[in-house]
Amino acid sequence: MSSVAVRDDLVIGVDIGGTKVAAGLVDPSGEILCHNRNPMVCNDGAENGLASVTKAIETASAQAVSAAGKHNLIRGVGICSPGPLDPKTGVVINPPNLPCWRNFPLAAEVAHIYRVRVKVDNDANAAGLAETLWGAGRGYHNVFYVTLGTGIGTAILIGGRIYHGRTGAAAEGGHMSIDYKGPRCGCGKPGCIEILAAGPAIARRARAKLESGRSSSLLDLAGGKIERVTSEMVGQAAAAGYSAASEVLQETVELLSFWFGNIVDLLEPDVMIVGGGVASMLKPFLGEIRDRLPGCCVNQRCKEIPLVSARYGEDAGIAGGAALCFDAARNNGSTPIVGAAEVPVTR
Ligand SMILES: [Zn+2]
């Protein structure tokens, strides 16, 4: 007979994007035990948007069967959603890529359905918290986290807590401008680091080099079509030693170095963590960015600050959602979460 006990310490982390919802079971050490991905219906009303989320939650809960063949207990649900949102109330305000929700009380709706603790925050804050609790930021007091992908999201963790600012809108570091005459960002401002150094900017600068007549094997990777060049291809071509692609990454490193210099001058964190889809491409350059910091900030001890890769990759949102839940429990003492539901979750 198996003596494996039913677990009662798991939470479900949910990662909502513009096209998909991912969810997974996460244990108190930040291990993601299983995960799933479902489409996000974001153009067909609030109810169908919510149904996409509950489907992901219910798929995850159905996976929560213990080795003993019994259902584990789920302690809560943590959700990261595109912002703007109010992390205190869990109300999603008006994300551009989630037209289904306007002032939608996501946390309250999900808590009402499953009668568990529900926490909601934006993806960068959540992922930064996961790194602080379980990843590259463990053991550090003040953490700066950046996710580099199609956009640039950031989180500031002070004493292990997310710094939200007055209304929850703080830590929009991707929209710090480093060039007021630069290209206009999607947010309306000129020269944000996001419009200069996120994935689409890397691809755009590479395309500009090809359009100016540079011949490059980068073009071969894109099947001869300039418009098909992606940031991933730039990374591959640079790794293979092609000069146009290497120049683009070098420029990205320079832009990010000045931006990180600003971060150091403003926050002087104990560690800076880089995650997101573009992070793996830039990993070989983190040492160079750190070496450049003395020329990009006034902090004389800036090179002592570790600049490191994140623990979590694609699953950062799931880990982040779960981290919100574990953190909420931690901050309310070590007592079990009231209302923990047996799974499969029922309505
Ligand atoms: Zn911007």
How much distance in Å is there from the Cα of 187 to the middle of ligand 1? 4
> Tell me, what's the pLDDT at 255?
97
- Report how far ligand 1's centroid is from the alpha carbon of 96 (Å): 14
Distance between Cα 151 and ligand 1 center (Å)? 9
Helices (H) and strands (E) in the chain, counts: 11, 14
d(CA 229, CA 24): 33
Residue 157, Ramachandran bin (φ over 0: left; ψ between -120 and 50: alpha; else beta):
beta
Q: Where are the beta strands (DSSP E) in the chain?
A: 10-16, 20-26, 32-39, 73-80, 85-86, 91-92, 104-105, 117-121, 142-148, 152-158, 161-162, 271-275, 307-309, 341-342
Spacing, Cα 129 to ligand 1 middle (Å): 23
Distance from the alpha carbon of residue 185 to the mean position of ligand 1, in angstroms: 4
Ligand 1 centroid, distance to 46 Cα (angstroms): 27
Per-residue model confidence (pLDDT) at position 338: 36
Distance CA 291, CA 312 (A): 25
Reported as a single tens digit per residue, the pLDDT across 107-161 is 999 999 999 999 999 999 999 999 999 999 999 999 999 999 999 999 999 999 9
Distance 65 CA to ligand 1 centre (A): 44
Compute the distance from residue 191 Cα to the ligand 1 centre, in Å: 7
Measure 174 CA to ligand 1 centroid, in angstroms: 7
Dist. CA 254 → ligand 1 center (Å): 18
What is the pLDDT at residue 71?
Answer: 76
Tell me: pLDDT of 73 over 50.
Answer: yes
Q: How many angstroms does the Cα of residue 183 sit away from the middle of ligand 1?
A: 10
Give the Cα separation of 40 and 59 in Å (integer). 14
User: How far, in Å, from the CA of 195 to the mean position of ligand 1?
Assistant: 7
Burial environment of residue 28 by CB neighbours within 10 A (0 to 12, 13 to 18, 19 or more): middle
CA of 253 from ligand 1 middle (Å) equals 19
Q: In this model, does residue 333 exceed pLDDT 80?
A: no
29 CA to middle of ligand 1, Å?
Answer: 35
Give the model's pLDDT for residue 337.
Answer: 38
Partnered with residue 117 across adjacent β-strands are 76
Measured in Å, residue 161 CA sits from the centre of ligand 1 at: 25
Residue 324 · residue 288 · CB < 8 Å: no
What pLDDT, on a 0 to 100 scale, did the predictor assign at position 253? 97
Q: What is the pLDDT of residues 248-262, one digit of tens each?
A: 999 999 999 999 999
pLDDT in tens, 189-244: 999 999 999 999 999 999 999 888 776 788 888 998 999 999 999 999 999 988 88
Number of neighbours of residue 240 by Cβ within 10 angstroms: 12
Distance, in Å, from the CA atom of 72 to the CA atom of 77, rounded to the nearest integer, reads 14
Ligand 1 mean position to 193 CA, how many Å? 7
Residue 183 has pLDDT above 50, yes or no: yes
Angle subtended at Cα 32 by Cα 132 and Cα 149, rounded to the nearest 5 degrees: 60
Question: In order of start, what are the domains of the chain with their CATH numbers?
Answer: 10-127+314-342 (3.30.420.40), 136-309 (3.30.420.40)
- Residue 4: what pLDDT? 58
Question: What average pLDDT does the chain have?
Answer: 91
Give residue-wise pLDDT tens across range 17-70.
Answer: 999 999 999 999 999 999 999 999 999 999 999 999 999 999 998 887 766 667
- pLDDT tier for residue 1 given thresholds of 50, 70 and 90: very low
Long-range contacts of 37-40 (CB under 8 A, 24+ apart): 40/16, 40/98
- pLDDT (tens digit per residue) in 261-287: 999 999 999 999 999 999 989 999 999
The region of weakest confidence among 35-44, 69-78, 306-315 is: 69-78
Between the CA of 99 and the centroid of ligand 1 the distance, in Å, is 20
Q: In whole angstroms, give the CA distance from residue 294 to residue 13.
A: 39
The rounded distance, in Å, linking the Cα atoms of 214 and 322 is 47
pLDDT of residue 327 exceeding 80 = yes
Task: Compute, in angstroms, the gap from residue 331 CA to the centroid of ligand 1.
Answer: 33
Provide the pLDDT for residue 216: 72
Distance from the alpha carbon of residue 66 to the mean position of ligand 1, in angstroms: 45
Beta strands (DSSP E) in 27-129 are 32-39, 73-80, 85-86, 91-92, 104-105, 117-121
- Determine whether 301 is exposed, middle or buried from the number of CB atoms within 10 Å of its CB (0-12, 13-18, 19+): exposed
Å from CA of 2 to ligand 1 middle? 56
How far apart CA 344 and CA 347 sit, in angstroms, is: 10
CA distance 112 to 17: 22
Distance, in Å, from the CA atom of 104 to the CA atom of 56, rounded to the nearest integer, reads 18
